[in-house]
A and B are shown apart, each in its own frame.
Chain A
């Protein structure tokens, strides 16, 4: 036997092979039609540039589509998905090989290639598919985790894939048995079938069975292919496309501006007002549920579920999409008259106002999504509609916005002015300086720092550290206004724009180039959002700036301990707008590492999978029901680490966690402290403790 001659007969035992080609035509037609419908729907969306920066896109594509970078982050699902995914690729290649071999003059299916790839590898990967599907089935039918969506469709997908793989092995096995294939050993699974069937069935029976199962296999496979665009299996194509066209700029800059002069509607309540990429997002969802699983609001029992928002919008789009294009201006696409615009915000669906206003804009969902769907910006888009078109929002947010409008800060009723915290600290105020350009950095204090009792310590500590390091800095004092972050997150883009423009103007007047701030929300606005309004600065979170000062030796943190007994255990809570939104996880940790002998422990959910304090997205201004508090969930996790100091880097985290930790710490002494406070405690001269 010459292995170089090894091959097999295509269409062994099959007559009417022309029927295969005849059946293929409608199959591909339906398949194409299905995707054409999808594409047509997407194209009805608003324009958005997502085919730029091709190099970066390719990289992301290779990493997270081809390389399944995010999918494999969950162990169990990662394993079975990889088995099925790689299996499919190999089987698809194998089918292509057959086609080339049979329908072109290139008879490539022979020899070692035939044995090693077409026989052995394909068998193994076929087995992978079956094992993968079985694992998935165990999860879906037996362990039943909450994150899945339990549809018949999903079950049928598993069944059909399993059936296809199984029947594939059956026909391979019977072919081997009947033809006494000399290369049987190279197809171990098929061979197993052959060996099992041999004593039980006559050749004739196998031959008949083979024909029947062969056609059955073909019909299932073709039917399945035609079904792909209409089921969640379409993710096989939409997901890679979605990853390729993902937002490359980080979550911190993912909100769009609105042109108030020309916009027909502010915010989104109709599918047609979404961009094509948003519509593609809806079709790319794999129903994996990871977004909802990590969503803090969902975790504490609120009705918000980013997965269901995406899926309900997908359903809405499909409902309207089959014959009628979704079009923002009420046109049905054929020019044949008005269609009713269905609202996307609907009390009866996952896109209810109540759910929308539970979002902390933490972006955990976006980070978890294996296919880079952008849930949070859509939530904000819908909030915009509610806030700006309907003036419909929770009460606490109303006071906050009223205050922002008339006082340029969100803390109605504060007893402090913006400069009270500077008492006794000789700090330059831009407006009072002979030459404001002398200040190398602007220390942006932030409303949460200046106006909330608890955080005044943080800004004092930051200022004193800057002074100690000899940094020439100044503040804007009373000229500082809220950056507008809370307004933007709750959906009041109009108010945000007003505040942003005002601040950009003020900073322009003083020629500000470099900004350091202890508020990650301000940090994010300056870094990612102010450039949209003509304000570009070199922006530092105070942890970054202080870390640099330590690195460069301008500050000396060594030898000092965090607490008087010198044996603190610290756990750091990543602020969403510093971590996930802007990718800074290390600076605050570096800084803590330099605090003498304090020991750092990590919470289970940390860094990019950190769990929100509950204060983002305007939620710090809303009274949550006592049994649905995000901050307590997080505080519990912090307390459970055994740490006696919960370090924070955000004034909102500080107040949220203070409240949470006090509720959950029991008799233990656990303190919430900003990294700057801790650093000052460590390096401040005796008698200079921040009061």
Chain B
């Protein structure tokens, strides 16, 4: 069996709030001193794939794919250190914030290309959303580009009778599904797919594993068309909401008054959540 995991490199979501700044021209967060990391749900996806491989009796080969800057090589190396077998980077050539449709098209083209060379992928795994923009559309759009059935919010893949058994989280509880390859899933986290820390030996080995690099031209895609022609949304505006740092202490002469103030503030927030 062959699995493909899509990875995204993002700005460290743990950057302290105080360090977080917006670049108004780019309409995106400023990199600043922050690091770039693999999106956590993508790492959950890698872990889920690895666990599937460990549970499967048949041979399973896992490929990692990323559409990103050259720095995203780090993410792919890390995935290979986690013991993904091979990786492919589609270089992003300056399209700093491609929309989900563009990413979906590029990934689909790359997947078709990899399938041409190495046979079909039984399952494609995509993180449910990214820790930067968090739009969460890529998985669904990619499924459509590839014409695959899909299931969202999956937390585990298990070899099933004939196909693959999926478990997923929904707002009504856990659901179990049977899937016949080929299919696509988006992966969410649970306590069992916390990404493993690679063994040091595997970290060193990851530099010897194959990392294929493709350009949009290699995929016969027109970068301009990808950037504008097929774009479905763009950022119109982004800003940091005014945050209240000063703690407002409830004031008033009587306890009654002070608690009343507190109650009103709490009610206000709770009501706004809906």
Contacts and interface: CB of A to CB of B under 8 A. Distances in A.
A and B directly contacting (CB within 8 A): yes
Interface of A: 260, 266, 387-391, 393, 398, 401-403, 406-408, 412-417, 420, 478, 492-494
Given A406-B37, A417-B33, A412 B201 contact: no
In terms of DSSP, what is the predominant structure of the interface of chain B? Answer: loop
A478 B203 CA distance: 26
Given A260-B204, A407-B12, A420 B18 contact: yes
Given A415-B17, A415-B18, A420-B18, A406 B12 contact: yes
Interface string B172-210: 000000000000000000000010111111011000000
B54 to A, nearest CB: 14
Given A407-B12, A420-B18, A391 B198 contact: yes
Contact of B199 (A390, A398, A407): A390
Contact of B18 (A407, A417, A492): A417
Contact of B14 (A388, A391, A413, A492): A413
Contacts of B241: none
Interface in B4-39: 12, 14, 16-19, 33, 35, 37
A388 B200 contact: yes
Nearest to A403: B14
A204 to B, nearest CB: 79
Given A414-B16, A415-B18, A417-B16, A266 B200 contact: yes
Nearest to A407: B35
A455 to B, nearest CB: 16
A389 B18 contact: no
Contacts of A391: 196-199
A412 B200 contact: no
A388 B199 contact: yes
B35 A388 contact: no
B33 to A, nearest CB: 4
A416 B18 contact: yes
Nearest to A477: B33
A503 to B, nearest CB: 16
Contacts of A407: 12, 14, 35
Interface residues of B, number: 18
B33 A412 contact: no
Nearest to A414: B16
Given A407-B35, A478-B33, A494 B16 contact: no
B16 A420 contact: yes
A387 B33 CA distance: 29
Interface in B198-248: 198-201, 203-204
9 contacts: A266-B200, A391-B199, A406-B37, A407-B14, A408-B35, A415-B17, A417-B19, A417-B33, A493-B200
Given A387-B200, A403-B14, 5 more contacts: A260-B204, A391-B199, A407-B14, A413-B14, A417-B33
Given A412-B14, A420-B16, A402 B197 contact: yes
B37 A389 contact: no
A388 B201 contact: yes
Nearest to A406: B37
A467 B27 CA distance: 41
A391 B199 CA distance: 5
A415 B201 CA distance: 33
Contacts of B18: 415-417, 420
A493 B199 CA distance: 12
Contacts of A266: 200-201
Nearest to A267: B200
Nearest to A420: B18
Contacts of A390: 199
A393 B14 CA distance: 23
A92 B31 CA distance: 76
A266 B33 CA distance: 33
Interface in B21-62: 33, 35, 37
Nearest to A478: B33
A402 B204 CA distance: 17
